[in-house]
Structure 1
Amino acid sequence: MRPYLAVIADSFHSALASRILWIAFLAIWLFLAALAPIGYHEDYTTTFRWFDLDNGTQLKAMLARGLVDPKEADTALGRIARTFPAEIKRQLRQVAEGDDVRIDKSALADSLNEAMDDESWYDPDAWRSTVRLRELRELDELPEDQISTSQRRRRARLRIEAALPGVFAAQAARSITLSYAGFDFPAVFSIGKDQFVALVNQIVVPVLMNWLLGFALIFLGILVTASIVPEMLQPGSLHLLLSKPISRTLLLLSKFLGGCAFVFLCVCQLVIGLWLIAGFRLDIWNARILWCIPVAVFLFAVFFSVSMFAGLRWRSAILSIGITCMFGAFVMVIGFIGGYFDTLVRGPDRVSQLAFSDDQVVISTQGGGLKRYDPATNRWRELLETEGHRRDLIVPPIQIADGAIASARIRNGRFNLYGSGSLDLLVLDVANDWEPKPSLRLPIGTRRLFKIDDRLVALNNTGLMATPIKAARDAIDFASDSEDSDSEDSDSEDKESQDSDSSVDASTDADRASAGEEQPAGDAASSSIGVTAWISDLLRMQGGPTEDFQPILPKQVTLTEPVRVTTVPGRSSLVIYTRGRLAHISFGQAAAGDGDLDSATVVRSSFADGGRVVADVMLPGDDSRQAVLAASDQVVLVAREDQPVRWIELSGLETVAEAEPPESQQVLSMTALGSTGQFAMLTIDGRCHVGWCDGDTLKYQTLPWSDVAAIDFQEQTGQLVIAHHIDQVDFVTVDSGNSGGTVATKVVRTIRPTLTSWRSVDRYLITPLRMLTPQTGELSDTVSALVSGKSSFVLGQADADQQEVIRLKIARPVLSCSVFLVVMLTLSCMYFSSRDF
């Protein structure tokens, strides 16, 4: 053993004698010294930034209405609108007149920031009718002589958010501000300390691993170590070594281990230095950062194995460097092609939501497509084609009647919830061979559809609006008749248009007369009618009710992000989560208040009255976090990010039990399994779990499916539907009759669609090629998982249904690199042992 240790020590000495090593040391010390003055401080989130404006179109519409609508003059909205500079107010008036005016979000945010410095716009009576968050109520109770400047600005921001509900993305109450040598960075983070720590662990450290450790240091390491093997093969050196009683294989492996000395010495200094800076300067004492050291050395070993074999074969350091660089380029190209297929071939086909009607299955995909399973061809048939150059958003499809499913497509909705163009309800039914047919015009910004009794309910950022399902289905025939009527002569159209205009004028005058108002004459009357029309258009622009969809929320309920809604099976009610507030709203007979009415009349009157709040509670914890809801006829299950799962009794919204999520993984979606008292939960790691309450304890059981993309419950058959491995679907029965307190599952139907051409290329060519090629670039995923302790995370803070889930590739790169490393070392040892040097 001593001779081999001497060889390894000699390699260490050779590395320390290298000038390139000391140049690298100096560069590392300078980099750490330049990074050391970084710091941070945490303060209240006060400043508006352009990306805080989640709905710029709605903000313009609201501010324009606040300027032109006389009814808004003394409201919170009107007071805020009048604080804007004259130029922006001029543009807002143009918006009110129907002009397509683009107003920079940064200018709107700057105007709101200026308004926070002077709160002359604030009036307690005007804000009494707004929805004030718990934090705002607490700040309002503080005496003026005890409130700090940052608290004052925070209170002003919350007041502005209360006056403009639904406009701003939910932000943490406190934000991180980075500093350098005591000077604050001009850019302010809109995240709290927990999110900042997650950002460092999941994004910053892997980026450093890719560029500083995975590129710069490894390239330098190859430059230094490429000459180790060619120098060993020199006649004098090799003969001296082989004169000792040592094995050629162990000699070569000792040289290989010694060659890793360069990277090991450099990586230790860099990683330990970064760990100390993160701990002392950013208060992130995460010992898992030190995992970067063995991973970086392992990564270098993969490349050094190629350099060593080239050195044995050609005995040239220059050729070793060149061949290793060519190998690195080849690996990078394969990784790029694999990433291309992940993003543009596999990702767009992944199931996002499911809907059922009898034996028909309709899915929406992450690529913005809508598909139906065709048993005859065993393929997913495109109903709405996925277009790669756009990022459309599909409103999750739902069954609205036997043989009918409803959905919608928001053009460019991933970049803007309001999208571009009109938003029409799409109805798919058996009579039209399941082809999507446009129906009623949906409220702008609709993100979800629900079915309550005989009503179709649309959720957007302003509230809930409903229309009769029969009207939605009848509108398909009406649209077809309208297309046929386009061939009629223009004189008839002009006459109808004139009659319509006359009826509008007459109805307007009649309404004004019935209200006891004096009818203005001439231009004044036209101006009044014009303002009324503008206000109606502005209400529609900001997501207000349309001609067909009317609001149904009780007046005391206002939606504030983050928002989640779920219906209650078997009841005319729903459960709403809005910024920490959980409310149970009923539209049944209790809401109508008349037990003598027939059921149809009860439903109609209750929807018209907006229903009633059965129970209302504020949940503890950070109310800016996204939530996931599911409800049965007796229970509501609530799961919020980084918080326990709560089992809540429906009637009074009292918490019965709470527990950590399954395997401490964030919950993405949940669904009740009928009236069994069980819930299926999809977690961020792609696993499906069944949960139930045993007394005051929540219990979970993990089902055997992996890479799960979506789950749902088919009420007609009582089956849990699991979509997994991109677009495969299983229909499963879940039985809870086991004495051991576990559940049993049985697959009763499967969908294994035939692969498309590009998917076939991915499965049979790209995937094997990626397995045979060491995926060195994916080792950054391994680092991210080791450092953060999480195998998956959510990218962005969008609506929970549309969040992009990143599942880290942990085992695959380690396996592929390990196999490649063993193969290369074996070939090198065999070559070295069989040749006479």
Structure 2
Amino acid sequence: MKPYFAIVVDSFHAALSSRILWIAFVAIWIFLIALAPIGYHEDYTTTFRWFDLDNGTQMKAMLARGLIDPEESETALGRIARVFPESVERQLKQVAQGEDVRIDKAALAGALNEALDNEDWYDADAWQATVRLKELRELDEKTADELTESERRRRARLRIEAALPGVFSVQSSRSIMLSYAGFEFPAFFAIGKTQFIALINQFVVPIIMDWLLGFALIFLGILVTASIIPDMLQPGSLHLLLSKPISRTFLLLSKFLGGCAFVLLCVCQLVIGLYLIAGFRLDIWNARILWCIPVSVFLFSVFYSVSTMAGLRWRSPTLSIGVTCMFGAFVLVIGFVGSYFDALVRRPDQIARIAVAGSDIVVACRGGGIKHFDPDSNLWNELIETDFRRHDLIVPPIRLNESMIASAQIRNGRFNLYGSGSLDALVMRREDDFDPKPGMRLPNGTRRMYVWDDSLLALNNAGIMATKMQQMVDSVASSEEQDDAESDETAGELDLNASGAEVSADETIPKSSAAIGAAAWISDLLRMQGGATEGFVDILPGNVKLTDPVRLVFAPKLDSVVIYSRGRLMRLGRPKDGSMAEGAKLTVEVERTIEDSDAAATVIAASGDAVLLARQNESVKWFRASDLEAILEFEIPEGERLIAIEPIGQSESFAMLATSGQVWMVSRKDDDTVTTRPLDFQDVASIEYVESLGQLVVAHHIDSIDFVEFPSDKKLSGKTVRTIRPSLTGWRKVDQWLITPLRTITPQTGELSETVAALVSGKRSFAIGGNNEDDTEVIRLKIARPVLSCAAFTAVMLALSCVYFKRRDF
């Protein structure tokens, strides 16, 4: 082994003699020295930013009502509405009169920030009627002398949020402020330390891997090592080496390892330096960051195998560098095209929600479309076009009866939950081939609809509204009759105009909004901010206010609904007197407060007398539904985050979908322990239990579906009774037969950053967002695929190089 080791050392010495290497060393040291003064400190989240205003439409309506409604003048809402400057107040009054006025969110946020420093607007009695979170109650108990300036501003922000419930996006109570050499950056991260560490591990480290280690350092490495093989092939040098008792194959591999050893030295300096800076300056002592070292050397070996082959073939360092750069460009283009197809072809077609009516299936897709499966053609037919360019939000479709499904489309809902324009229910009937027909107008901001016996419930961040199911069904026929009447009327007007009849201005121009009384304005503002529309009534008790994250599930065994709202778990029973559709309120039967991460993304489900609740970065909690007492806690299998939980009938068994795409079945034993069992599905996007069929519907691999039936003995072993494997069309076919094979045979060097993200964070997947459960972006990291593709390519290139070197007479 000594001769081979000597060759490796000789190659390393050859690399050390390069001026480019020492330039790279100096550049690394300068970069680390420049990065060393970075620091951070954690403080309370106080300042409002324009993107904190999650529901701008609702905020305008609430503030306008606070200005013009005499009953609101001394409430928390009315007092906050009067803190805005005169220009904004004038615009709000125009909103109150029915005008479509756009108000700059930055101006609203700026006025609220000024209010943080001057709390003349605050009145303790007025705020008693608001929902005050635990954090605000604790701060209110402190005297002025006990509060720091940050705590005082934090308290002021929480008071403003309490006066405007549902307006602001959920933010962490703590923020990370970055600094450099003692000077604070103007921007801050409204996340706590745990989320900050996750941000570093899952995003910053992969970016460093992509650009610093995966581009700059690899390119420099090729420049330095490209001459190793051509120099070896010089007549005198090659003859001297071959005169020793070594084989050509091991000679070439030793030279190859010598080049990799150079990159190892550079990467070690950079990664260890970054590790120490992250530890000493950011308090992030994560030894997994050191995984970047072997992965970076492995990445370099892929490109160096091409450089080695080119050096053998042409014996020129310049050509070796040129061929390697062309190979890198080819890999980059294939990776870019693959990412393009992932984002714009595959993801928009991925099933997000499922509704089953009889044998018909309607799904909502990630791209904002709705589709119906046609078994005759074995294709998904688009009912609402999937378009990645739009930012619409689809209200999850629900089954109304055996032949009817309802949904809704919120225009621009991904940016503003209240969307653009009114929100009409879309009713799809079998007799119309599930062509969407407009139905009743839903309350603004409706995020979910539910069927409860003969009532239809609509949930938004303002409350829960109810209407009679039959009224929704009848609204479709009424809409069709109205469309026919309008068509006839339009035709008549065209005839009159054609005959020369004049149309007066009074007949064509609607009455000015100024003619509407103040009471009508207030009523319109209430609907604008998410209140009940015509046909709906608010059924939420007056003492219950919903604050994100909000989740609602049914507990049929107890004839109740279970609601989770920002740390409060409540079970609400039916109205004791009257019907919900007639305005009778639900009654709070049991309530529990759940401490810790009350703002964390949450999923919830109920089955029999059991309620399952999972919050991000916490164990799953099992409650008894009757009194909401916590029975037990258990960890999520493999440590993943749950994005959906579905009850399996009333058996007190559940199906849990993790971000990794794995479905876990769980049930409780008599000794208060749980049994978990994975279902044999991968890359699952959505699950839905269909009570009428007694089956769990599993959507996986973009748009494939399986129906799984479970026995009643709680063995958690399901049996697939129906499968849907749709035929591919259009760009999906191009992706299947062209792009995927190209990505398979091409080393996926760009995806190695995902491998690093998984190694550094210890997670195979993660979710972005989550306060709106229907708009959570799940990212599943590719771990093994890029490693296998790069390893196979490197092995093939080295094998070809060894064969060429062995057989060729140099």
Structure 2-normalised TM-score? 0.96
1:77–1:163 contact (8 Å) kept in structure 2: yes
Give, in whole Å, the separation in 2 of the partners of 1:745 and 1:57: 46
**One-letter code of the match for 1:652?**
D
- Aligned pairs for 1:328-367 (under 5 A) are 328-367=328-367
Where does 1:215-614 land on structure 2 (aligned, <5 Å)?
215-486=215-486, 487-488=488-489, 529-569=516-556, 572-587=559-574, 591-593=575-577, 602-604=578-580, 608-614=583-589
Partner residue of 1:628?
Answer: 603
Matched, 1:735 2:735: no
Structure 1 residue 703: Cα displacement: 1.1
CA contact (8 A) 1:452 1:572 kept: no
In structure 1, what is the equivalent of residue 795 of structure 2?
822
Rounded to whole Å, the distance in 1 between the matches of 2:561 and 2:44 is 34
Determine the C-alpha separation between the residues in 1 that align with 2:771 and 2:668. 31
Q: Distance in 1 between matches of 2:484 and 2:681?
A: 50
**What is the rounded CA distance, in whole Å, between the counterparts of 1:762 and 1:433 in structure 2?**
29
Q: Distance in 1 between matches of 2:233 and 2:518?
A: 91
**Structure 1 ranges of 4+ moved more than 4 A:** 526-529
2: CA distance, partners of 1:568 / 1:427: 26
Q: 1:30 to 1:94 in 2, by over 3 A?
A: same
Question: For the residues of structure 2 that align with 1:796 and 1:614, how far apart are their CA atoms?
Answer: 31
Instruction: Measure the CA separation in 2 of the matches of 1:529 and 1:225.
Output: 80
The alpha carbon displacement at 1:387 in A equals 2.1
Deviation readout 1:289-333 (Å, 9 max, x if unpaired): 000000000000000000010000000111100000000000011
Residue by residue, what CA displacement relative to the aligned partner does 1:684-711 show, whole Å, maximum 9, x if unpaired?
A: 1000011111132222111111111111
Q: Distance in 1 between matches of 2:425 and 2:608?
A: 29
Instruction: Give CA-to-partner distance per residue, 1:773-807, whole Å, 9 cap, x none.
Output: 00100101001000000011112355122111000
Task: Please tell me whether residue 656 in structure 1 is matched to residue 656 in structure 2.
Answer: no
- C-alpha offsets along residues 712-738 of structure 1, whole Å, 9 cap, x if unaligned? 111112111111111111111123638
- Quick check: 2:97–2:514 contact (8 Å CA) kept in 1? no
Please give the alpha-carbon distance, in whole angstroms, between the structure 1 residues aligned to 2:345 and 2:147.
Answer: 55
Residues in 2 aligned to 1:439 and 1:736: alpha-carbon distance in whole angstroms: 39
Offset of residue 680 of structure 1: 0.5
Deviation at 1:144, TM superposition (A): 2.1
Instruction: Please give the secondary structure, in 2, of the residue aligned with 1:260.
Output: helix
Separation in 2 of the partners of 1:120 and 1:389? 45
Indicate yes or no: 2:654 matched with 1:679: yes
Residue type matched to 2:759 in 1? L
The answer to whether 1:666 aligns with 2:641 is: yes
SS in 1 for 2:120: helix
Residue identity opposite 1:579 in structure 2: R
The reply on whether 1:52 has 2:52 as its aligned counterpart is yes
Quickly say closer, same or farther: Cα 1:231–1:94, change in 2 above 3 A.
Answer: same
Q: Is the 8 A contact 1:736 1:744 kept in 2?
A: no
Matched residues in 1 for 2:712 and 2:284: separation?
Answer: 45
**Deviation (angstroms), 1:85:** 1.0
Deviations 1:610-631 (A, max 9, x none): 1101111111211010110111
Counterpart CA distance in 2 for 1:353 and 1:568 is 21
Q: Given residue 198 of structure 2, which amino acid in structure 1 is its aligned partner?
A: A
1:567 shift after superposition: 2.1
Code of the aligned partner of 2:655: A
**What's 2:594 paired with?**
619
Give the alignment partner of residue 726 of structure 2, picking from 747, 753, 757.
753
Unaligned runs of at least 5 residues, structure 2: 497-502
Farther-moved stretch of structure 1 (214-223 vs 538-547): 538-547
For the 8 Å contact 1:796–1:804, the answer to whether it is kept is yes
Cα distance between partner residues in 1 of 2:328 and 2:790: 13
Contact 1:41 1:177 in 2 (8 A): yes
State the 1:197 CA deviation: 0.3
**Which residue of the partner structure matches residue 186 of structure 2?**
186
Aligned to 2:132: 132
Residue 512 of structure 1 is matched in structure 2 by none
CA RMSD after TM alignment: 2.0
> Which stretch shows the higher mean deviation, 386-395 or 266-275?
386-395
1:598 paired residue number: none
SS in 1 for 2:187: coil
Q: Which residue in 1 is equivalent to 2:618?
A: 643
Cα distance in 2, alignment partners of residues 364 and 603 from structure 1? 32
Q: Is 231-240 or 387-396 further displaced after alignment?
A: 387-396
Amino acid at match of 1:69: D
Question: Residue type of the partner of 1:208?
Answer: I
Conservation of the 8 A alpha-carbon contact between 2:400 and 2:406: yes
Q: What SS is found at the alignment partner of 2:605?
A: strand
**Using the alignment, how far apart are the partners of 1:203 and 1:85 within structure 2?**
40
State the distance in 1 between where 2:299 and 2:122 align: 60
Structure 2 CA distance for partners of 1:34 and 1:167, relative to 1, 3 Å: same
Matched letter for residue 156 of structure 1: A
Find the aligned partners of 2:247 and 2:585 in 1 and give their Cα distance.
86
Structure 1 residue aligned with 2:780: 807
Tell me how far 1:569 sits from its aligned partner.
Answer: 3.2
3-state SS, counterpart of residue 121 of structure 1: coil
Identity of aligned residues (%): 62
Distance in 1 (CA, whole Å) between partners of 2:624 and 2:689 is: 21
Is the CA contact 2:83–2:115 (under 8 Å) kept in the aligned structure 1? yes
1:147 Cα shift? 1.4
In the other structure, the counterpart of 1:776 is 749
CA distance in 2, matches of 1:283, 1:198: 13
Relative to structure 1, the CA distance from residue 263 to residue 736 in structure 2 (aligned partners, 3 Å threshold; closer, same or farther) is farther
Aligned match of 1:596: none
Amino acid at match of 2:480: S
Q: Distance in 2 between matches of 1:60 and 1:217?
A: 52
Moved more, 450-459 or 383-392: 383-392
Inter-partner Cα distance in structure 2 for 1:119 and 1:416: 29
Q: Is the 8 A contact 2:554 2:561 kept in 1?
A: yes
Report deviation, 1:34.
0.8
Q: Secondary structure of the equivalent of 1:67?
A: helix
Q: Pick the aligned partner of 1:744 from 692, 717, 722.
A: 717
Indicate if the aligned counterparts of 1:450 and 1:567 stay in contact, CA closer than 8 A.
Answer: no
Question: Number of residues paired by the alignment?
Answer: 798
Counterpart pick for 1:689 among 639, 648, 664? 664
1:669 Cα offset (Å): 0.3
Distance 1:253 1:41, change over 3 A: same
Contact 2:557 / 2:650 at 8 angstroms: preserved in 1? no
Distance in 1, matches of 2:405 and 2:266, equals: 61
Q: Is the 8 A contact 1:443 1:458 kept in 2?
A: yes
1:527 deviates by 6.9
> For residue 286 of structure 1, what is the amino acid of its counterpart?
N
Which residue of the partner structure matches residue 500 of structure 2? Answer: none
Amino acid across the alignment from 2:636: P
User: Is the 8 Å Cα contact of residues 657 and 693 (structure 1) preserved in structure 2?
Assistant: no
Q: Distance in 1 between matches of 2:561 and 2:336?
A: 46
Gaps spanning 5+ residues in structure 1: where?
503-522, 594-601
Q: State the TM-score, normalizing by the size of structure 1.
A: 0.93
SS class of match (2:710): strand
